[in-house]
Amino acid sequence: MSIDLDRWEIVIGLEVHTELSTRTKLFSGATNEFGGEPNTHIDALTLGLPGSLPVLNEQAVELAIRVGLALNCTVQRSVFARKNYFYPDQSKNYQISQFDLPINVEGYLELPDGTVAGIERAHLEEDTGKSTHIGGGGRIHDAQHSLVDYNRCGVPLLEIVGKPDLRSAEQARAFVAELRSILVAVGASDGKMEEGSLRVDCNVSVRLRGSDELGTRCEIKNINSLRSLGRAIEYEAARQVDLIDAGERVEQQTRHWNEDEGRTLKLRSKEGSDDYRYFPDPDLVAVDPSQEWIERVRAALPILPAARRHRLAERSGAPLEQTALIVERGLDDLCLATIEAGGDATRTITHAEHNLSDERARQLSPTAFAELVGMELDGQLSATQAKTVLAEMVVDGGRPADIAASHGFEAMDTSELEGIVDGLISSNPGEWQRFCDGDGKVTGFFVGKVMKATSGQADGKVVTALLNLRKSS
Amino acid sequence: MQKVAKLARLRLTDDELERFTGQLADVLEHAADLQTLDLTDVEPMAHPVPLANVLRADEPGPALGRDEVLAAAPSAENGLFRVPPVLGEEP
Amino acid sequence: MSALGALGLAAAVRSGERSAVDVLDEHLARIAEREPEIHAFNELTADHARSAAEAVDRSVAEGRDPGALAGVPVAVKDNLCTRGIPTTCSSRILEGWRPPYDATVVSRLADAGAVMVGKTNLDEFAMGSSTENSAFGPTRNPHDITRVPGGSSGGSAAAVAAGFSPISLGSDTGGSIRQPASLCGVVGVKPTYGTVSRLGLVAFGSSLDQVGPFATTVADAAAVCEVIGGHDPGDSTSIPGAFPSVSDHLDDGVRGLRVGLVTEMMGEGIAPDVAARVRAAVDALAAAGATVEEVSVPAVSFGLSAYYLVAPAEASSNLSRYDGVRYGLRVDAPTTGEMMELTRTAGFGDEVKRRIMLGTYALSAGYYDAFYNTALKVRTLIRTEFETAYERFDVLLSPTSPTTAFEFGAKTEDPLSMYLNDVCTIATNLAGHPAMSVPYGTGDDGLPVGVQIMAPTLGEVPMFRTAAVLEAGLRDGSGS
């Protein structure tokens, strides 16, 4: 179900809610913990008991500022507003959120491919409790009764609204992945989509390529993984294109992603939606972080993924795209240190990209790594040998020279090699003739024979070079 | 008025609706006199307290015992609050 | 009525001259005698009171400090949470609900040794000016039981007026302490917004609500304010610092104090006998050395309109939580949506429903700017104009209520006429300023009249000084 991308453009804006890693809830001292027996992380405000009052959690503000700065936002004076609607897991039947004046505005993040995606705002709000529907297979429409757990009610959330700058499912996935790594890097969230601490809603619209106007968008909910995000976007874009092609119009609505069936289903129409009657919460005062607080947070920010990619690209000369995987694996610091210790940049990067997928690779000693790369470039180790030695270093540590010796990997004497090559040339004149005539496939024959003769210790590239040398002489 | 009652989760009889509409109209008529004031450049005051940044430390406070709370609930089951089927998704 | 006010009783108990239990019994006897006709209480808490009184007596016997209000009986408005004791807000929707915690003001009173004798009646959810909106029947004015005690804190005012307790707690959102104080002939104080914690006060209009005392004397009212007031970290709108120390200044007099009589609050809507008492008060203050002048605060005329948009708007949101899910009344239904609707419809009285409707409307899409936001701007205007007035005056004076106590049913047909009772008191809630009502003689019908003293933010000292002079004047006959 793919659409003609020459004709159509997909426009995507994501809304990401993340639970903040605080000890207590946003407005009360009830504990913020995942799991646990139902209704054991509650207090008066969590349940909306008469007479209860909210008091803002300082750490939630700290984390909000951290994320805001990490997303290049302006941190501003903000006000809490009540979003009024009735639902049993909303214990006061209003949610304390931020409306006109959110704490963070106008930021951006950079995707690994270099695309800059805008962030409209990131604001604080309370999470709701959870209801389960009993009877009727757990489906809301056939339930006999519902049960409500308020453990999650009041947990601090940061709602991050991205601008509709994304143009493909891949970009959307990259956006979420990048956002998640930022959130984890600054310690604001554990970013676990499976556990619900990171929730993604997706706004999708389509338009004819070249058009400036935005098409009608639909909001898609119930996306629980990056894979679902990609699938949902592609399904929804195709659905909308089909509608338009059939002469119908796309209705603005909220749709539910059904993972099993692989499609989106209408939930409710957004036109004429609930009137939330937002107004400033009279129980709370404004939050106006001082410049001093903001600068303190800024100074303490760790180096973020985008900056890491750029730094590695600059210092290693590798193209930006190649650095993404390395940074994702958390190996950029290692690479930099290795290059610093004298390791060849290109070789280091290549190893990091292809041969260091094991988690333990982060513990590699940069000097040892640099030594290994050096041995490889000297010709002391073939590429294959180097890979083996490296793998062992990751698991057991140690010096590359020692490991090479223990494997019996020795520097192959070039004259010995030449002797073997010459011997093979004389004993295989037919194949040699074909090689000289330009038959590239025969190379493998000779290299294979050399490998056999040297028990795999010869460097294939060196052998090929020798063959070519002989050919031209 | 019917829409407002729905938003407020109140069910009014036709008689009440009529009566309320009339009474509220009286009040709102008086509210119209506010429109005669020149309020350009006047900031709305949400509350009279000149405070900002009232924060608390991220420390656990007194929790409520689940049993005590559920005992006061109209209906409870297995540590959860029990309600009739909730139709319709969360806004 | 006991000649000794609260402070006198506390002194007697602290010195061991009287036991707290004895004091309690005296008041319980009075309650037994007149409560059936007055109905000041939703719930009497005699056992709770007895334990508290006994604890006070033990402290005294053991030489420990029993507190500034040791053994003083106190009645608490039934919209203040009291742990394990029903807190109903005089509404069916909370009938029988027992909070798992005490309001901050309740625990501060208990820590000071006060003995709670019961929870008093109010207009449902504090919405009203006569206590006729209570779901559990009205309270009657002890001066004339055919008349209302005022509202919404009618029960607390009546309790003190009838001698059931020398002090009581009420809440004031648009005049709900001051107006009943005036109608019942007792002292009633609404402190500066933010000086008394709202934690545990069932919210009505959050930016307007304040808890305050009723008492028979200005000194008692001051003492209660100092006990219950002061910063509470559990209330984000609580201002830092202790309550202004008014008790120390009660005898300062008013020499040199600049007093303003608010023109807009002495207009046609005020009964002539009420206006006359206010003018007598003004004269008494002048005689005591204050300078008195008339002052115009024009924005005050818009106070009612602004209030009847802001308060219901906040209330409509504050009362959303009453839905039958977690506590209180539940009317069963096949779906939760219906259950919430039926519960709220059955549980709320007419006035509450009216205000929820009004508030919901004022906040709804398309009307927010014209109604709610405009009202908030008018609020700023009112406060600014008052502050301008306070550059020239230390305190402002007005009647508390346009009339003396009216008869039951006199204003229930037309809500607007009921709302007009608040015309003098409402502006101070909008501005967040303090105000108090002091009894100052009677009207032509022999019923109590109160004079309202208003002051700027944290101006409780000049306010109480003025009140003390008026009170003293009446006592020694110079204020007739």
Q: Note the pLDDT tens digit of each residue in B17-70.
A: 888 888 888 888 888 888 888 888 899 998 788 899 999 999 999 888 899 999
Domain regions of chain A by residue span: 8-299, 305-406, 414-472
Single-letter residue type at C144: D
By C-alpha distance, which of C419, C417, C424, C379 is closest to C401?
A: C424
With contact defined as 3+ CB pairs under 8 Å, the chains touching C are A, B
From chain A, the residues in CB contact with B57 under 8 A are 58-59
Q: Which residues pair with A108 in a beta bridge?
A: A118
A374, with CB counted inside 10 A (0-12, 13-18, 19+), is: middle
Structural domains in chain C (count): 1
Note the maximum CA span of chain B.
59
φ, ψ for residue C422, nearest 5 deg = -95, 5
- Is pTM beyond 0.95? Reply is no
Asked if the bond preceding A455 is cis, omega within 30° of 0, the reply is no
A269 in helix, strand or coil?
strand
Q: Which residues of chain C are within 8 Å of residue A135 when distances are taken between CB atoms?
A: none
* Contact with chain B for residue A133, Cβ under 8 A: yes
What ipTM, to 2 d.p.? Answer: 0.96
On whether the CB atoms of residues C99 and C87 are closer than 8 A, the answer is yes
In a domain, C131, yes or no: yes
How many Cα atoms sit within 13 Å of C197 on the Cβ side? 30
Handedness of CA C413, C416, C422, C423 (dihedral sign): negative
Phi first, then psi, for residue C281 (nearest 5°) are -65, -45
Question: In this structure, what token pair is assigned to residue A122?
Answer: 């990131």
Q: Is residue C71 part of a domain?
A: yes
Q: Is C228 helix (H, G, I), strand (E, B) or coil?
A: helix
Nearest one of C359, C458, C440, C353 to C401, comparing CA atoms: C440
- What local confidence, expressed as pLDDT, does residue A411 receive? 57
> Using CB atoms, which residue from A23, A131, A132 is nearest to B59?
A23
- Shortest distance between the Cα of B90 and any Cα of chain C, in A, equals 12
How far C208 CA lies from chain B's nearest CA (Å)? 8
The pLDDT of residue C374: 93
Catalytic residue list contains C176:
yes
Identify whether C454 is part of a domain. Answer: no
Q: How far apart are CA A267 and CA A219, in angstroms?
A: 10
What pLDDT score was predicted for residue A103? 98
User: What's the gap in Å between the CA of C157 and the closest CA on chain A?
Assistant: 22
Q: Using one digit for the tens of pLDDT, what is the confidence trace for C44-64? A: 999 999 999 999 999 999 999
- CB-based contact (8 Å) between A86 and chain C? yes
Sequential DSSP letters for B19-86: HHHHHHHHHHHHHGGGGGS--TTPPP-S-S---B--EE-S-------HHHHHHTSSSEETTEEEES--
From the list A53, A82, A92, which residue is nearest C199 (CB)? A53
Q: Does residue C74 belong to any structural domain of this protein?
A: yes
Q: How far apart are the first and last CA of chain C?
A: 22
The domain of C57 spans 5-249
Interface contact flag, B46 A280, Cβ < 8 Å:
yes
Q: Does residue C69 lie within any of the structural domains?
A: yes
Is there a contact between A285 and C236 if contact means CB atoms under 8 Å apart? yes
Distance from CA of B91 to the nearest CA of C (A): 13
As assigned by CATH, the class of the A414-472 domain is mainly alpha
Is residue C77 part of the annotated active site? The answer reads yes
Cβ <8 Å between A50 and C97: yes
pLDDT digits (tens, 9 = 90+) for C311-361: 999 999 999 999 999 999 999 999 999 999 999 999 999 999 999 999 999
> How far apart are the C-alpha atoms of C117 and C26, rounded to whole Å?
12
Does residue A456 carry a pLDDT above 90?
no
Among the options C134, C176, C238, C247, which is catalytic? Answer: C176
Summarize pLDDT for C120-139 with one digit per residue, the tens: 999 999 999 999 999 999 99
Min mean pLDDT across A248-262, A293-307, A409-423, C88-102 is at A409-423
Q: Is residue C89 part of a domain?
A: yes
With H, G, I as helix, E, B as strand and everything else as coil, classify residue A82. Answer: strand
Q: Which residue of chain B has the CA closest to A61?
A: B55
DSSP letters, C414-437, are -HHHHHGGGTTTHHHHHHT--EEE
C residues 71..130 contacting B (CB < 8 A): 97-98, 100
Tokens 């038959």 -> residue: A439
Compute the average pLDDT of residues A221-240.
94
What per-residue confidence (pLDDT) applies to C4? 74
Indicate the SS3 state at residue A408.
Answer: coil
Of A182, A117, A149, A177, the C-alpha closest to A30 is A149
Q: Does C228 touch chain A (CB under 8 A)?
A: no
Q: Where are the domains of chain B?
A: 1-37
* Closest-CA distance of chain B to residue C357, Å: 6
Q: Does A273 touch chain B (CB under 8 A)?
A: yes
CATH number of the domain at C70, please: 3.90.1300.10
Identify which has the larger pLDDT, A419 or A48. A48
CA atoms of B88 and B91, how far apart (whole Å): 9
Confidence of residue C480 (pLDDT cuts 50, 70, 90): very low
Residue C152 lies in a domain: yes
The reply to whether C382 falls in a domain is no
Q: Are A22 and A197 in contact (CB under 8 A)?
A: no
Please say if the pLDDT value at position A272 is more than 50: no
Within an 8 Å CB–CB cutoff, is residue B6 touching chain A?
A: no
Give the CA diameter of chain A: 99
Q: Going by C-beta distance under 8 Å and a sequence separation of 6 or more, which residues neighbour residue B53?
A: A285, A286, A287, A288, A289
What are A317-325's contacts with CB under 8 Å, separation 24+?
A317/A345, A317/A346, A318/A345, A318/A346, A318/A349, A320/A112, A320/A113, A320/A114, A321/A112, A321/A113, A322/A349, A322/A353, A323/A349, A324/A112, A324/A113, A325/A353
Q: Which of C206, C306, C336 sits opposite B83 (nearest CB)?
A: C336
CATH topology classification for B1-37 = Histone, subunit A (1.10.20)
Q: CB within 8 A of C418, min separation 6: which ones?
A: C128, C129, C130, C411, C412
Q: Among A23-32, C70-79, C405-414, whose mean pLDDT is lowest?
A: C405-414
